[in-house]
Amino acid sequence: METFETNDDHVIVRLDSGDMALESITEACEEHDIDTGAIVSGIGTFRNLNIHYVPTAEFPDEKSERNTFLNLEGAWEVGTIDGAIADGDPHLHVIAYNGDETVAGHLEDGCEVHILSELTIRKFDGPEMTRRPNEKNVGTLQLK
């Protein structure tokens, strides 16, 4: 991974083959002191894709029943990675294609960069944000 900070509060992140995507993005946030921000551009290729998504229109009370996790092997062309960063923690979504199917979901740890990935993070000066559970135990953006 290599990062480059611009003069207008952006951080450009280059991930190389073998880098772990979400883990490296989190590391870039730490290195550049990004507490609140957003991924404004993200593309790349992954060797595997780990995501979760909400599979039902119902809203189960049990948090463990709300998500379906997919660990997908093979080469994935990433069309977009985007999302918000609150309290230094990226909450990112991804859309990817493997030649047969397109999938979308919440980016999880363990996605290894295949060829490359390039992202741009926009740092925000304020307000500082965090995520706290709401009445349905869903982490929602709130002021710190």
pTM above 0.85, yes or no: yes
pLDDT over 90 at 64, yes or no = no
Report yes or no: 98 and 45 within 8 Å, Cβ to Cβ.
Answer: no
> What tokens does 78 get?
């990433």
Q: How confident is the model at residue 137 (pLDDT cuts 50, 70, 90)?
A: confident
- Report the alpha-carbon distance of residue 79 to residue 95 in Å, rounded: 6
Q: Which fold has domain 2-125?
A: 60s Ribosomal Protein L30; Chain: A; (3.30.1330)
pLDDT class for 141, splitting at 50, 70, 90? very high
- Domain ranges, ordered by start, for the chain: 2-125
Classify residue 119 as left (phi > 0), alpha (psi -120 to 50) or beta.
beta
Please give the full DSSP string across 103-125, using - where no structure is assigned.
Answer: EEEEE-TT-BEEEEEEEEEEE--
Quote the tokens at residue 21. Answer: 């995507």
Radius of gyration of the chain (CA): 16
